[in-house]
Structure 1
């Protein structure tokens, strides 16, 4: 998702510029303060400005990658990877520390030397700026949690695909575990979760065998057309197939296994499947 400078960025930059100029004009007035709150404000302005510029640059550099710049933890370019790492490992921790330090300093100034502020407006603006800093930290911490959850989901999907990626799947579909943006709907929490089956539950399903020449008519009966409804290729001798219990529809095993990883139902009749302890049980 490419980002460019917009009206909001213009407002942000003008506001920060005005605040910096105002701070510079009143710099000497802050000298009697118990803590250098004016220096804290200046550094926090610079942090926000640097973060926004890095975010825009990272988004532009990662424009070929689908998804949000900060949420995609598998950026392919060195530049986007470096900028994302800078935000998560440097900018956010430092800004969190700096905001906590500023809170302590502001409290000291408010309780010991409140008269050092150039005006009451500066005092309340500093308090409001602290609030905005905490909002910034909370929002980006939440984004970090979302990025971690998405990465964990992708890794689980890759694990499910790799566990099903045998010679039959490789011959028909290639390395499915390398398919970008594939998201498994299964979960390690149980055999059936969400809309898909876990890889272990799929392997436990019965009725998987390799066709022989004498099986052609039988499988043609099961699928009416003698072809796999998923890949639309004929079921031929030597193909490994799976006949779903309950409805009796037959598919290439490599096709139906990948389907069941995403949806726990028959592609033809939509009859739901629930995994039993040792075999598939259709409902």
Structure 2
């Protein structure tokens, strides 16, 4: 009888519609965790060494800028991950919802928007200036993979701010 199939099909459609946002949320959270793990690896391995060779000291503290940049980015990502885990899953993306029910999620939300993003933006600009100054005054200091890595990191930092 088709009357019995319609409510069951409607119920299955409703269940699927309710499950899709959770699946998207989990995929987003998985991306964030993988990205955060990559940042931790960069902090542990890629900051001071380039394929087993230490970075050359330059006139500008480029390595210090890189380490602080990783930490700032990591703080922002951790705020996002914790806020996404603590907040309700049906309220949409953590960073786009200003009406979080709990105090902890409100604090994480505002710390991310008022502290992490502006400080990261300013620090990215400082890094771009440092890299440009080093390239102008000491062209041999940043070579090959180090320069490419810094340019990609600056590009990612700028893109993250725009998104």
TM superposition score category, shorter chain reference: 0.7 to 0.9
Superposition RMSD on alpha carbons, in Å?
A: 2.2
Q: 1:13 aligns with which of 28, 36, 39?
A: 36
For residues 102 and 46 of structure 2, what CA distance do their matches in structure 1 show? Answer: 40
- Alpha-carbon spacing, 1:10–1:23, altered in 2? closer, same or farther (3 Å): same
Q: Indicate yes or no: 2:56 matched with 1:30.
A: yes
| Deviation sequence 1:253-278 (CA, Å, 0-9, x none) | xxxxxxxxxxxxxxxxxxxxxxxxxx
Q: Indicate yes or no: 2:132 matched with 1:132.
A: no
For residues 54 and 137 of structure 1, what CA distance do their matches in structure 2 show? Answer: 15
| Deviation sequence 1:196-222 (CA, Å, 0-9, x none) | xxxxxxxxxxxxxxxxxxxxxxxxxxx
Q: Which has the higher helix share?
A: 2
Contact 2:48 2:55 in 1 (8 A): no
Contact 1:23 1:38 in 2 (8 A): yes
How many angstroms does 1:67 deviate by?
A: 2.0
1:255-266 equivalences under 5 Å are none
The higher relative CO (CA closer than 8 Å, separation ≥ 6) is in 2
Larger Rg: 1
Contact 1:30 1:38 in 2 (8 A): no
| Deviation sequence 1:137-159 (CA, Å, 0-9, x none) | 001xxxxxxxxxxxxxxxxxxxx
Q: 2:126 aligns with which of 101, 107, 116?
A: 101
Unaligned runs of 5+ in 2: 1-20
| Deviation sequence 1:53-102 (CA, Å, 0-9, x none) | 11011112211552221111121210010000001100001001101111
Q: Which sits farther off after the overlay, 16-25 or 88-97?
A: 16-25
For residues 80 and 60 of structure 1, what CA distance do their matches in structure 2 show? Answer: 9
SS in 2 for 1:115: coil
> Paired residue for 2:116?
91
For residues 22 and 71 of structure 1, what CA distance do their matches in structure 2 show? Answer: 32
For residues 65 and 88 of structure 2, what CA distance do their matches in structure 1 show? Answer: 34
For residues 124 and 53 of structure 1, what CA distance do their matches in structure 2 show? Answer: 26
For residues 69 and 17 of structure 1, what CA distance do their matches in structure 2 show? Answer: 22
Q: Indicate yes or no: 2:147 matched with 1:123.
A: yes
> TM-score w.r.t. structure 2 length?
0.73
For residues 79 and 50 of structure 1, what CA distance do their matches in structure 2 show? Answer: 15
For residues 133 and 45 of structure 1, what CA distance do their matches in structure 2 show? Answer: 10
1:99-248 equivalences under 5 Å are 99-117=124-142, 119-139=143-163
Contact 1:65 1:75 in 2 (8 A): no
How many angstroms does 1:23 deviate by?
A: 1.9
